[in-house]
Amino acid sequence: AQKITQTQPGMFVQEKEAVTLDCTYDTSDQSYGLFWYKQPSSGEMIFLIYQGSYDEQNATEGRYSLNFQKARKSANLVISASQLGDSAMYFCAMRLLMDSSYKLIFGSGTRLLVRP
Amino acid sequence: GAVVSQHPSWVICKSGTSVKIECRSLDFQATTMFWYRQFPKQSLMLMATSNEGSKATYEQGVEKDKFLINHASLTLSTLTVTSAHPEDSSFYICSARPNRGLGSPLHFGNGTRLTVT
């Protein structure tokens, strides 16, 4: 079964500290991709970072990096130097190809609160 | 680039009426668009995949006759909630992606908050 799991419903982090948001996945596909999105209270979905299953290096985008451990099927998001504006919901998502159709499924999300 | 516009951002309607939500890709063509539903403090659940010029593909458990999807052009998909009831109240979000390889992300509209009274 194709599944994305985020086990942390909520996280706190002190401003300027780093935080890791966990994500594990389950798929039998060899080719897949993992995305992280941020959803502020306003509701829009903001793309943060992508990791392909064949990518050998961990993805990085500014303060965001993805700790990809393929054997463990985990794709944790690391946010460095947290800012107050990072407070939001964060969703891990997995891109699948089902019957040649592109599909993106989401985990349950982690609410991050950055403390001043 | 890759902007997706969704309209309206919120709507209140009476039980039994129908509501149409529009999703447009502003600067790219999208042969496929996706409709998600999100309940408060929950994740996004894929409702259906909208295919330009053909029938939408619905996820298991999603009523086709309740949620009508039309994808008449490469830049516009619409979701119509027919005979809405209070349990249809939710946050509906559309998304699309440019055809730039499997690593290109889905871009989302800002969502529509539907309240059925």
* CA-wise closest residue to A13 among A21, A25, A4: A21
Average pLDDT rounded to a whole number, residues A99-112: 90
CA distance B77 to B88: 19
Q: Which residues of A18-52 are buried (b: 16+ CB within 10 A; e: fewer)?
A: ebebbbbbebeeeebbbbbbbbeeebbbebbbbbb
Query: From the list A33, A37, A103, which residue is nearest B46 (CB)?
Result: A103
CB atoms within 10 A of CB A70: 12
pLDDT range class, residue B107, cuts 50, 70, 90? very high
Residues 6+ apart with CB under 8 A from B62: B47, B48
CA distance A24 to A1: 13
In this predicted structure, what is the pLDDT of residue B115? 97
pLDDT range class, residue B1, cuts 50, 70, 90? low
CA distance B79 to B94: 9
Q: Which residue has the tokens 């349950």?
A: A108
Residues of chain A with Cβ-Cβ distance to B102 below 8 Å are 31, 33, 52, 95, 97, 102
Q: Is A43 left (phi over 0), alpha (psi -120 to 50) or beta?
A: left
Per-residue pLDDT reduced to its tens digit, B8-40: 999 999 999 999 999 999 999 888 899 999 998
Name all contacts of B45-50 with Cβ < 8 Å and 24+ positions apart.
Answer: B45/A106, B46/A103, B46/A104, B46/A105, B47/B79, B47/B92, B49/A101, B49/A103, B50/B77
- For residue A53, pLDDT beyond 80: yes
CA distance B7 to B34: 15
* CA-wise closest residue to A103 among B39, B1, B38, B102: B102
Per-residue pLDDT reduced to its tens digit, B33-64: 999 999 988 999 999 999 888 889 999 999 99
In this predicted structure, what is the pLDDT of residue A25? 97
Per-residue pLDDT reduced to its tens digit, A26-51: 998 888 999 999 999 999 999 999 99
The rounded mean pLDDT for chain A is 94
Rg of chain B taking only CA atoms, in angstroms: 14
Note which residues in 76-115 of chain B have CB less than 8 A from chain A. Answer: 91, 93, 95, 97, 102-103, 105-111, 113
